[in-house]
Chain A
């Protein structure tokens, strides 16, 4: 389990040398004034993947690039875009990798979304033989 630790640490602790001297983008760490917009932005940020650290959402990352992405998300939402528009703007540029929410309408990822139903049906079918009808006694 050491890797578990190392992985987490690697994500939270960036080499100091890789930090840039510049302050983060304006809305990297600043909430939007409209609480509803902020909530929408927050929800989206938790579903977008940090480009630099690979295993964290941009909402949970100290990476400067993640801060810039947060700022972009907040600015775009404040400008009236819907979260889905912002998401597809990023997916257009980085592919589905950038979103933790795989699309349903995709040749590659639809089986994921149907898996719960298929598995549940398979499980019920597997169990059907176990049960005795209430009437016939032993």
Chain B
């Protein structure tokens, strides 16, 4: 009965979404106040029903109800609790239901708490949100019903791929979905504003928390995904510009640009059309990313989850939403004024530079990712576009972006004096120059890009704190602290990236137990190799004693794991983190003479890459709290003022 109840709840939610859309569309056309009043409760009800449906699916997974096909295909009764739970969204149908659930709840949240937006714009936004949800409901109910029963009922499920059973992985997908949904809300706001032609500071302020929230989740998702690839793949690479990685990067780039342009719109009521376009592009990128990943159009040799039918469905939704929004943009934005002008040397000027550079980088990632597809469609030639292209094409632009990031927060709105800017930024420039000079003198073999990146990061790390200079730190708003920390995080990550690419040392050896391996200041002693058994794997574990130059001793144990059920073999790298870097040890195959392949890397300062990513997200979080608190206070004051008149 639970599965049927879930399905009914899903149908009801879909019907409510249809009603929500109809109320909005008809209400706006006929300008009927009673329709406007009705749309809020409908949105709340839709959110509740879809959430109820998702909870029931979780319940089915936790109970290991083997009469439901989805549970059979993706779970097993002996699995640990946490993976049963995470198994709910570790598959196509469940993840789509999660997506539409978060979307429904976001709609309910807007309906309940959004008070500053004009009624008509709010109604249009809710209608747009319902329209997007309808596509996902159709997708679920027509072709991917998560509650489908199965006869005869099997005794046991097929289980989740054992390799996917990693605590980090269990929560990686929802993090990205939250980000995507946040961008879909921003998209709905943009569509709503285009319909009512009401694009201004209020609209920007209503949209901003959603963009910020989405951006925080995307930042965390990418950071976690990159670290996972780094430790799990066993080759020490943290970013390979793989199409699937790019699919997660593109929405982040667009969201970052949007976050900055929405600030210009909220503060100075400028960049209206541009902000609308970015909101549309940001959501497009999350849909396109999902499409690229699900359809397998770019990497279909690993044809596990590839399903052309699903791909076509997502592509159809994509065409409907994105094509529709872009047509609306072309029709409506001509009548939207672009807003106030400003001088080149001004806070707005720096933010425009930020937006242009981010957009160009985004376009390059997009083109580079899809170019092989385009060429194959046109000429039949197969080609690869990878790290050499992306690094060279986007690297210099990224450095310009970081430089703009250092200067921007030090500029005044509307206009500023170039000379005073130079004054304010003289110390960071000196630091960058000094760093560049000493790097050229004391290091060898650094690429130009890494050299400039490291020098710039030194200056920017200092410059990012300059907005706090000579300010009353207790009265500085929280969102300023957020910006400072996020910008500092970028500099920190840049240090990690430059150091990783320039100073990594590698040692590949075939060693017998008893042999010594040295790398940088480390001396590793290969003590022994022993078999081990885990719940669903067997492994060979090597015991290695690692001694650093200062005498500290650590025990590490990289493994070579065999998963019997899946017939797969993985390397479990051993990572040793010090303040100045990470030692990365992998056990490879053995040979007939009793030697083992051991790969050792010393990667100076590499953890800074992900530490920087976490700082960036933390900065976003502080900004979010600061903005929400300020918005709440302002509303209270306004209500108080209105009440006393």
The answer to whether A and B touch directly, with their CB atoms under 8 angstroms apart, is yes
Which residues of A are at the interface with B, using a C-beta cutoff of 8 A? Answer: 1-17, 23, 29-31, 39, 42, 46-47, 49, 53-57, 59-62, 95-102, 108-109, 112-113, 115-116, 119-120, 123-124, 126-127, 129-134
* Cβ-Cβ contact count across A and B, 8 Å cutoff: 201
Assess the B445–A39 pair: CB atoms within 8 A. yes
Closest Cβ–Cβ distance, residue B261 to chain A (whole Å): 11
Determine whether the beta carbon of A109 is less than 8 Å from that of B343: no
24 A–B contacts, CB within 8 A, in A order: A4-B225, A4-B248, A4-B293, A8-B229, A8-B233, A11-B233, A11-B302, A12-B570, A15-B567, A47-B386, A47-B388, A49-B384, A57-B387, A61-B235, A101-B389, A102-B383, A108-B383, A115-B363, A116-B394, A120-B356, A120-B360, A130-B352, A132-B343, A134-B415
A-contact 0/1 string along B293-328, CB 8 Å cutoff: 110100101101110000000000000000000000
User: Which residues on A sit within 8 Å (CB–CB) of B567?
Assistant: 15-17
**In the complex, which residues of chain B have a beta carbon less than 8 angstroms from the beta carbon of A3?**
244, 293-294, 296, 304-306
Interface assignment of B172: CB less than 8 Å from any CB of chain A: yes
List 10 tightest A-B contacts by C-beta distance, closest first: A100-B386, A13-B568, A101-B388, A10-B302, A60-B235, A123-B356, A132-B341, A97-B382, A96-B383, A1-B173
Known: A1-B225, A62-B571. 19 other contacts (CB 8 A): A1-B172, A6-B164, A8-B233, A11-B302, A12-B233, A12-B234, A16-B569, A29-B599, A42-B506, A49-B384, A49-B386, A53-B301, A55-B301, A95-B383, A100-B385, A109-B383, A112-B367, A123-B357, A131-B342
C-alpha spacing A55/B591, complex, angstroms: 27
Cβ of B240 < 8 Å from any Cβ of A?
A: yes
Flag B239-259 by CB within 8 Å of A: 1 or 0 each: 010111101100000000000
Residues of A within 8 A of B343 (CB): 131-134
Q: How far is B229's CA from A60's CA once the two chains are assembled, in angstroms?
A: 11
Residues of B within 8 A of A95 (CB): 381-383
In the bound complex, do residue B568 and residue A14 qualify as a contact, i.e. CB atoms below 8 Å apart?
yes
- Chain A residue with minimal CB distance to B371? A112
Known: A6-B161, A112-B367. A1 touches B386 (CB 8 A): no
Asked whether, in the complex, the Cβ of A100 is within 8 Å of the Cβ of B161, the reply is no
Q: Quick check: A6 and B305 within 8 Å, CB to CB? A: yes
Min CB distance B306 to A, Å, is 8
In the bound assembly, the distance between CA atoms of A126 and B356 in angstroms comes to 9
**Chain A proximity of B272: nearest CB distance (Å):** 11
Provided the pairs A8-B229, A101-B388, A131-B341 are in contact, do residues A59 and B235 lie with their beta carbons within 8 angstroms? yes
| Residues in B neighbouring A9, C-beta threshold 8 A | 161, 163-164, 568, 570
B359-401 residues with Cβ-Cβ distance < 8 A to A are 359-360, 363-364, 367-368, 371, 375, 379, 381-389, 393-394, 396-397
State whether A96 touches B382 (Cβ < 8 A).
yes
- Interface assignment of B508: CB less than 8 Å from any CB of chain A: yes
CB-CB under 8 A from B367, the residues of chain A are: 112, 115
Residues of B contacting A54 in the complex (Cβ-Cβ under 8 angstroms): 299, 301-302
**Closest-CB distance, B554 to chain A (whole angstroms):** 24
A106 to chain B, nearest CB (A): 9
In the complex formed, the residue of B with least CB distance to A94 is: B382
Decide: A2 near B95, CB < 8 A? Known: A29-B599, A101-B388, A115-B364: yes
Q: Which residue of B lies closest to A35 (CB)?
A: B445
Q: Closest residue of chain A to B388, judged by CB?
A: A101
List B residues 71-116 near A (Cβ within 8 Å): 90-92, 95
